[in-house]
A and B are shown apart, each in its own frame.
Chain A
Amino acid sequence: MMSASTPVIVVPRKRRNVELALILFALALTLGAAAMVDLNVTGSISSTFPYLAGVGAGLALVAHIAIRWKLPYADPVILPCVVLLNGLGLAMIHRIDLINDPPTSGARQQLIWTALGVVLFVLVAFVIRDHRPLQRFTYTLGLSGIVLLLLPLVPVIGTAKFGAQIWIHVGPYSFQPSEVAKIFLCIAFASYLVEKRDVLALAGWRVLGLDLPRARDLGPILLMWLASLAVLVFQNDLGTSLLFFGLFVMMLYVSTERPGWAVLGTLLFAAGAYLGYLLFAHVKIRVGAWLHPFSNYDLYYQVVNAQFGMAWGGLLGTGLGLGRPGLTPLARSDFIAAALGEELGMTGLMAIVMLYALIVSRGLRTALACREPFGKLLACGLSFAFALQVFTIIGGVTRLLPLTGLTTPFMSQGGSSLVANWTIMALLLLISHHVRKPVATVSENVAAQDETQLLKRPA
């Protein structure tokens, strides 16, 4: 133990070199995967491979430099995981491109979106720099979040694709606004709940050993419940509905520390889901495909073929480029996990899930270590939403749950999801930087000198 007179400054190690090494490792895996796809499908590496590989590697390094420069104390594991997931996703999309004759250019588009994601990532690190001021935009962000969420319902720009009306179209561009809404609402919930947590924590009635909230405080949760039901009803989107409501309930519980909220929320969700099941044919189809996919091959074609693909891959997979993911519809978007399971095997799929789990665990660690409630709640919310999304979509594809059409973060083809997830990771890294950054302590001796001191943060 050091004596009380010595100023104690705990300086966490930055571990930027570890991050760099991990990123290089992730890049090696990614580029190896992409090269393997080319070799296995066409027999030779395509002429554009070096350029695209260069762009991909460059993007990863740009993100790394941004962290090194602006967020040097940020968690060193998150970015390598993201690079690996994004890269494997690109390799898989490239693989599915090659099924078509002539090959489609999905991977190139995805790479452009990745670039945009990295730009936003860098912007968050350079422009926002600190997450705390975001608290000020509670209602602005909340309102924009809701508007974004419901935007696809606006005629003309909103379009239904694959049964769910969750897209907007402007000219040739399409966008899934709920992905951005996720971030906005997460920030808005966090700041709203931090502000109102004391009121919401007041216990109302006690039922079965649970302190349920006061009836007059039920407003927000009911509002969120209705909003998510609206998403389910009008947009036919069970996944998004579950995601937002789950996120809200979890944050409510964390901020108030009242399990009553969580129980109530779960019950409300169950009721909503059951209602949805009774009222909507598409929910019934999803549940049917989950429980007995082989009872109606034509109706449950998608899910059944995803299962066929994963069974075909077995434990170790057919090898990249050697499976037949093209037989599963939407292999590059909703069912990319099935395509990965087929070609990388269940082992590969589990490794991917493990990467997600690592990201989530790092996010939750950040939340635990955070010293102020807003950052805590925001980090926890973002991590949980991420986890819930991964659980729902991969659980759906592997028949753990009924399928809901969410994106597989960083892997599914689609710009909105990619950009949104890069932003979420930037926010998490931002918070973790502030959490791990050493706080200057004023030593007693310094105070005793009674002079104006320049307190300098250690580099």
Chain B
Amino acid sequence: MNRPIRRVAVVVMLMFGLLFANVTFNVVFRTESLNAQPQNRRVRDAEFAQDRGSILAGTTEIATTTPVRDRFKYLRTYPQGELYAPVTGFYSYDHARSGLESSYNTQLAGTDDSLFVRRMIDLVTNRTPKGASVETTINPDAQRAAAKALGDQKGAVVAIDPQTGAILAMVTSPSYDPNKIASHDIEAAGKAYQRLATAKNHPMANRAAREIYPPGSTFKLVTAAAALEAGKTPDSKVKSPTRLKLPGTQTYLGNESNCGGQQITLQHALEVSCNTAFANLGLELGADKLRDQANKFGFDARHLSDLGGAASKFPENPDRSQTALSAIGQFDVAASPLQMAMVTAAIANDGVLMDPYIVSVVRAPDLKPLQTTKPKELSQPMTADNAKALQKMMVGVVNNGTGTTARIPGVEVGGKTGTAQSDLKRKPFAWFTSYATSGDRQVAVAVVVEDADIPRQDIAGGRVAAPIAKAVMKAVL
């Protein structure tokens, strides 16, 4: 009977071999995905109980961890929760994370590969591992100024440093308090989350980067840029009838303001935001040129992936009447405040568009930088000369046109107002996008105010949104 017993022994050996192989397979190939499963309470609890790194704006901690005496030991707190919520996002037990808390989760939690050596040292020296801190480009002064100026109005503000692409302010209103969602009272946190998620005015929406709106007349900057790139100059004459019959329709496009004649200069058309002049320009240039110009400014691409920025849109196949409407930022054109700030920043930066970013450096607990963001050029939508010409036109808007409310004495300020009315039931959006230069300091700011309850076309942007932009520019310079 020895032969069959030997064979049985071989079978037994195979069984144990399979056990070993399978256990090895589990460790090597399954561990990671298992630890990433959202239902995995061990990972969630351990992460929740971690001394998570801070998120900073300058030297201000906008998300930090405080030791508490409960089962999780560390509580995530947001010292100025509502103000910085669009940047930090929230960190919750049951509802995952958002904002930088989400995109920099592994670094903040200290589980990132870049922190591997650190973790090993902590393990050997028996120290509680600490997460890396994330330093943002946000300028606390600008952020506060933006929030204060925006007040209770529904809307958003984005400020960019045109020369680097660094986001200096990002405010959306209404905002929410992430502390309520990060609470260790899991049940209360869940209720708070549900309330916020279902609230009618969407307090958790990042209106600055993740929502797109009809940009209204601020889009005329793109149309003007395309015209300049096509060979026109600020002094070129454009037809500006009081009414323009949209080609192929019985609809007339009117002007909300007095354009000042049937033939006006491009410069003047921008200053008074003449609809018929820009609609004519659009018809002359054609949809493809407009779309190309918009895309060079960053439309049709997602920016600021750290915060999940939305892509702005220029319509795919507009007919001629739709092209005319698109040229003045109506019809299906849609842009995020971030996108309009990028357009303005590129113009202010002499035609070079910098890739917007919000995290400047990630630092290990020992303050050693783990990753540093270097400013990156995204594209060159305009030549330097055309950009300078467009800057002058924008300065004209602020000095003699619809944007006079943004004037800052002693500072070069260029801007463009807008009031967008894409459907009749909705109240118009008031826009203002602008830049300011003072010495070697520069800032570009885009503001949108939803529900601006003022019907007049461009005065609305000038009256409602421009003062907000002005406050932010003053705070930065």
A-to-B contact residues, CB < 8 Å: 250, 253-255, 257, 294, 297, 304, 307-312, 314-315, 323-324, 327, 341, 346, 349-350, 353, 356-357, 360-361, 364, 367-368, 373, 376-377, 380, 383-384, 387-388, 390-391, 394-395, 398-400
9 contacts between A and B (CB under 8 A): A254-B1, A254-B5, A294-B37, A307-B30, A353-B16, A353-B23, A360-B12, A360-B16, A391-B16
How many angstroms between the C-alpha atoms of A421 and B379 in the bound complex? 75
Give chain A residues whose Cβ lies under 8 Å from the Cβ of B40.
308, 311-312
Q: Are B19 and A346 in contact (CB under 8 A)?
A: no
Given contacts A308-B42, A400-B19, contact A346 B24 (CB under 8 A): yes
Q: Are A395 and B18 in contact (CB under 8 A)?
A: yes
Give chain B residues whose Cβ lies under 8 Å from the Cβ of A373.
1
B317 within 8 A of A: no
Residue in contact with A398 in the complex, picked from B3, B26, B42, CB distance below 8 Å: B26
Give chain A residues whose Cβ lies under 8 Å from the Cβ of B5.
254, 364, 367-368, 376, 380
Q: Are A346 and B23 in contact (CB under 8 A)?
A: yes
Q: Are B23 and A398 in contact (CB under 8 A)?
A: yes
B6 within 8 A of A: yes
Q: Are B2 and A353 in contact (CB under 8 A)?
A: no
Given contacts A349-B23, A353-B20, contact A364 B8 (CB under 8 A): yes
B114 within 8 A of A: no
Q: Are A309 and B18 in contact (CB under 8 A)?
A: no
Give chain B residues whose Cβ lies under 8 Å from the Cβ of A308.
34-35, 37, 39-43
**With A323-B42, A327-B42 already in contact, 8 other A-B pairs whose C-beta atoms are closer than 8 Å:** A257-B1, A257-B4, A308-B37, A312-B42, A314-B31, A324-B42, A395-B18, A400-B19
Q: Are A324 and B22 in contact (CB under 8 A)?
A: no
Residue in contact with B18 in the complex, picked from A341, A349, A400, CB distance below 8 Å: A400
Give chain A residues whose Cβ lies under 8 Å from the Cβ of B9.
361, 364, 368
Residue in contact with B15 in the complex, picked from A323, A346, A377, A388, CB distance below 8 Å: A388
Residue in contact with A399 in the complex, picked from B15, B22, B35, CB distance below 8 Å: B22
B117 within 8 A of A: no
B45 within 8 A of A: yes
B367 within 8 A of A: no
B-to-A contact residues, CB < 8 Å: 1-6, 8-9, 12, 15-16, 18-20, 22-24, 26-27, 30-31, 34-35, 37, 39-43, 45-46
Residue of B nearest to A346 (CB): B27
Looking at the assembled complex, report how far the CB atom of A76 sits from the nearest CB atom of chain B, in whole angstroms. Answer: 20
Give chain A residues whose Cβ lies under 8 Å from the Cβ of B45.
324
Residue of B nearest to A250 (CB): B8
Q: Are B31 and A311 in contact (CB under 8 A)?
A: yes
Give chain A residues whose Cβ lies under 8 Å from the Cβ of B23.
341, 346, 349-350, 353, 398
Residue of A nearest to B46 (CB): A312
How many angstroms between the C-alpha atoms of A398 and B24 in the bound complex? 10
Give chain A residues whose Cβ lies under 8 Å from the Cβ of B27.
314-315, 346
3 tightest A-B CB contacts, nearest first: A311-B34, A400-B22, A391-B15
How many angstroms between the C-alpha atoms of A416 and B41 in the bound complex? 33
How many angstroms between the C-alpha atoms of A327 and B46 in the bound complex? 13
Looking at the assembled complex, report how far the CB atom of B44 sits from the nearest CB atom of chain A, in whole angstroms. Answer: 10
Q: Are A368 and B6 in contact (CB under 8 A)?
A: yes
Q: Are B18 and A311 in contact (CB under 8 A)?
A: no
Give chain B residues whose Cβ lies under 8 Å from the Cβ of A323.
42
Give chain B residues whose Cβ lies under 8 Å from the Cβ of A307.
26, 30, 34
Give chain A residues whose Cβ lies under 8 Å from the Cβ of B22.
395, 398-400
How many angstroms between the C-alpha atoms of A349 and B22 in the bound complex? 12
Residue of A nearest to B6 (CB): A368
Give chain A residues whose Cβ lies under 8 Å from the Cβ of B34.
307-308, 310-312
Looking at the assembled complex, report how far the CB atom of B403 sits from the nearest CB atom of chain A, in whole angstroms. Answer: 56
Q: Are A399 and B26 in contact (CB under 8 A)?
A: yes
How many angstroms between the C-alpha atoms of A255 and B16 in the bound complex? 23
Q: Are A254 and B6 in contact (CB under 8 A)?
A: no
Given contacts A250-B8, A346-B27, contact A312 B35 (CB under 8 A): yes
Give chain B residues whose Cβ lies under 8 Å from the Cβ of A383.
12
Give chain B residues whose Cβ lies under 8 Å from the Cβ of A309.
42
How many angstroms between the C-alpha atoms of A388 and B6 in the bound complex? 16
Give chain A residues whose Cβ lies under 8 Å from the Cβ of B16.
353, 356-357, 360, 387, 391
Looking at the assembled complex, report how far the CB atom of A286 sits from the nearest CB atom of chain B, in whole angstroms. Answer: 17
Looking at the assembled complex, report how far the CB atom of A376 sits from the nearest CB atom of chain B, in whole angstroms. Answer: 5
Q: Are B19 and A395 in contact (CB under 8 A)?
A: yes
Looking at the assembled complex, report how far the CB atom of A160 sits from the nearest CB atom of chain B, in whole angstroms. Answer: 28
Q: Are B15 and A387 in contact (CB under 8 A)?
A: yes
Residue in contact with A257 in the complex, picked from B3, B19, B26, B30, CB distance below 8 Å: B3
Looking at the assembled complex, report how far the CB atom of B42 sits from the nearest CB atom of chain A, in whole angstroms. Answer: 4
Q: Are A304 and B4 in contact (CB under 8 A)?
A: no
How many angstroms between the C-alpha atoms of A275 and B343 in the bound complex? 68
Most chain-B CB neighbours within 10 Å: which of A304, A315, A323, A398? A398
Looking at the assembled complex, report how far the CB atom of B285 sits from the nearest CB atom of chain A, in whole angstroms. Answer: 53
Give chain A residues whose Cβ lies under 8 Å from the Cβ of B20.
350, 353
How many angstroms between the C-alpha atoms of A323 and B42 in the bound complex? 8
How many angstroms between the C-alpha atoms of A255 and B8 in the bound complex? 12
Give chain B residues whose Cβ lies under 8 Å from the Cβ of A294.
37
Looking at the assembled complex, report how far the CB atom of B413 sits from the nearest CB atom of chain A, in whole angstroms. Answer: 56
How many angstroms between the C-alpha atoms of A255 and B26 in the bound complex? 38
Residue in contact with B1 in the complex, picked from A255, A297, A304, A314, CB distance below 8 Å: A255
Give chain B residues whose Cβ lies under 8 Å from the Cβ of A387.
12, 15-16
Give chain B residues whose Cβ lies under 8 Å from the Cβ of A304.
39
Give chain B residues whose Cβ lies under 8 Å from the Cβ of A368.
2, 5-6, 9
Residue of B nearest to A315 (CB): B27
Looking at the assembled complex, report how far the CB atom of A199 sits from the nearest CB atom of chain B, in whole angstroms. Answer: 16
Most chain-B CB neighbours within 10 Å: which of A311, A353, A360, A364? A311
Looking at the assembled complex, report how far the CB atom of B238 sits from the nearest CB atom of chain A, in whole angstroms. Answer: 62
How many angstroms between the C-alpha atoms of A400 and B23 in the bound complex? 8
How many angstroms between the C-alpha atoms of A310 and B27 in the bound complex? 8
Residue of B nearest to A342 (CB): B42
How many angstroms between the C-alpha atoms of A294 and B39 in the bound complex? 10
How many angstroms between the C-alpha atoms of A257 and B7 in the bound complex? 10
Give chain B residues whose Cβ lies under 8 Å from the Cβ of A400.
18-19, 22
Residue of B nearest to A394 (CB): B19
Looking at the assembled complex, report how far the CB atom of A297 sits from the nearest CB atom of chain B, in whole angstroms. Answer: 5
Q: Are A254 and B18 in contact (CB under 8 A)?
A: no
Q: Are B43 and A312 in contact (CB under 8 A)?
A: yes
How many angstroms between the C-alpha atoms of A199 and B4 in the bound complex? 17
Given contacts A312-B42, A312-B43, contact A398 B19 (CB under 8 A): yes
Give chain A residues whose Cβ lies under 8 Å from the Cβ of B35.
308, 311-312
How many angstroms between the C-alpha atoms of A444 and B42 in the bound complex? 74
How many angstroms between the C-alpha atoms of A272 and B4 in the bound complex? 25
How many angstroms between the C-alpha atoms of A74 and B314 in the bound complex? 86
Most chain-B CB neighbours within 10 Å: which of A294, A323, A346? A346
